[in-house]
Chains A and B, each alone.
Chain A
Amino acid sequence: MKVIRLIVTAVVLVLAWGLIAWGLDLPRFILPSPLAVLKTTLTKYDIILGHALTTALEIFLGLVLGVSLGCLSALIISANRGIKRWIMPVLIASQAIPVFAIAPLLVLWFDYGITSKVVMATLIIYFPVTVSFLDGLNRTDPAWLDMATLMQQGGSPSRLLKAYRLYRYIKIPFALPSLASGLRVATAVAPIGAVVGEWVGSSSGLGYLMLHANGRMQTDLMFAALLVLAFMAISLFYLVDYVLRLALRWQPDQHSVYD
């Protein structure tokens, strides 16, 4: 059913696009027809594929780094209430600076290669992951915290071990649904980081290809790159959503975001 809805939506959008291009009789360099874009995608697939792989790698590495750093930060902040008061304002302030504004700096520091784009994606992913996981960790059912305290009274006296077990068996599992929402947002914004990085300065990637094609009035190639990017982003989101729902099957009210 979901697949059918998806196909119907895609067909309607493409039809609308075709009708506008054909009905308004726009020149190819303003709005190419869907057929022209499809033709370009197929004939230039080797070029597009190479650039798509670069962008995919940037998104993947950015996700791995951003999610790891975000989870780690959330755990550290949640375990040390003192640190939280120092770190949270910095975190929030860092979000007030748009990543677009520091993109040129990152390219300057990390060069034209893949590193600056990975850093950009990491930066953009880090915040939603940290905040959502931290929120989840701070919202453990107080009744369970009491219960855990009682259950730990007989055990080992080491505070560190107690804290570790509390996190492992109670706090982190309770925070997973909240972390999952953060991961969905992260997955949705990850391609933005990578592509913005490529726009600012690069020699490969779909963002680079778009700029390149734009400069040569190859609007059909631009659209082809855009379509591939959209396809990648949507597939990634579906994949992550699927995995998250599988992992959180125990949640009684767990629904897909599409239902």
Chain B
Amino acid sequence: MVAYEQSSPVLQRDVKNNSSETGAARVSTPSPLGVDIHLATLGYQDTIILEDLRLTLHPGRITCLLGPSGVGKTSILKSLAGFLPLSKGSRIECSDGKPLAGRISYMDQNDLTLPWASVLDNLVIAARLSGKKPDFDRARHLLETVGLAGKEALLPSQLSGGMKQRVALARTLMDDNPLVLVDEPFSALDAITRHRLQDLTVSLLSTKTVLMITHDPLEALRMGHHIHVLSGDPVRLSDDLNLTTPVPRDPTGPDITACYNDILALLNTARTEELS
């Protein structure tokens, strides 16, 4: 089921993307953005972690990068976000031909709520930082959507971990950027909260192009339209696992269980954990 060949990663534009897989109404105005990524090398300090990484982000789809800790997943996200400089020969191309800068939202491992600001003020921080007028109505509406109605005036210290991640999710949606980078934001949550937030995230990000990294195979299987595994030594990116069922998936389904075993086999080829 899982093809793990490094020969020719997919790079052609995905055109058959609007086959309404999720069933969710996708009536958002601008058409979703597709992104082609080629990173020549990816290094952390002086060590090169990855070479020749090619990845296509399909418009309006969630692409999951699955890999063990320390394999360089976060570095991939950070190069896309522009936090890390791109290596020579790397390029990132958007389907509309415009540059990617300024069109990215980021969801960190930590909720990154500002401890001194109320929930509502936390949502409008991007507007404040870029000198735009804060849209409090939209913020209130989004808080309702993520299930935090009535909590506008609370401080982050008065919220649970799950609620703080809901604030982070709402803040991510505030910007309305076409590409959302998600760095395993649910890893610190308990199982039930994580489950609910995964569902919520899938439904709220249904019109966005999402790149999500995670070390949890079940999370990837649950949320990712497209799943790639980072493993091996040296680290390689697997081809898309080609799951066609809609997300969020039921992790107990037979196809998912089979896929889970394949992923575990792939992950076992990584030596990263032993190295650290």
| B-binding residues in A (CB < 8 A) | 141, 143-144, 146-156, 161, 165-166, 169-170, 173, 176, 250-252
Contacts and interface: CB of A to CB of B under 8 A. Distances in A.
B128 A165 contact: yes
B131 A173 contact: no
A147 B108 contact: yes
Given A144-B112, A250-B155, A152 B82 contact: no
Contacts of B116: 173, 176, 250-251
Interface in B153-179: 155, 157, 175
A169 B128 contact: yes
A152 B177 CA distance: 13
**Mostly helix, strand, loop or mixed at chain B's interface?**
loop
B83 A146 contact: yes
A153 B115 contact: no
A150 B130 contact: no
Given A153-B102, A170-B114, 9 more contacts: A151-B130, A153-B104, A155-B131, A165-B128, A165-B129, A165-B130, A169-B128, A170-B129, A250-B116
Nearest to A253: B157
A108 B157 CA distance: 53
B157 A250 contact: yes
Given A143-B112, A144-B112, A149-B82, A252 B129 contact: no
B185 to A, nearest CB: 12
Contact of A154 (B83, B102, B112): B102
A15 B131 CA distance: 62
B131 A151 contact: no
A250 B102 CA distance: 31
Interface of B: 78, 81-83, 101-106, 108, 110, 112, 114-117, 125-126, 128-132, 155, 157, 175
A43 to B, nearest CB: 51
Nearest to B128: A169
B130 A155 contact: yes
Contacts of A251: 115-116, 157
Contact of B106 (A147, A152, A156): A147
B126 A151 contact: yes
Given A161-B131, A165-B131, A250-B155, A150 B115 contact: no
30 contacts: A143-B108, A143-B112, A146-B78, A146-B83, A147-B106, A147-B108, A147-B112, A148-B129, A150-B83, A151-B130, A152-B129, A153-B82, A153-B102, A153-B130, A154-B102, A154-B175, A155-B131, A155-B132, A156-B130, A161-B131, A165-B129, A165-B130, A165-B131, A169-B129, A173-B117, A176-B116, A250-B116, A251-B115, A252-B115, A252-B157
Contacts of A154: 102-103, 130, 175
A150 B104 contact: yes
Best-buried of A154, A155, A251 by chain B (most CB within 10 Å) = A154
A141 B115 CA distance: 12
A152 B228 CA distance: 31
A225 B93 CA distance: 76
Contact of A166 (B78, B115, B129): B129
Contacts of B101: 153
Contacts of B125: 151, 169
A150 B112 contact: no
Nearest to B157: A252
Contacts of A176: 116
Contacts of B129: 148, 151-152, 155, 165-166, 169-170
Nearest to A144: B112
Nearest to B103: A154
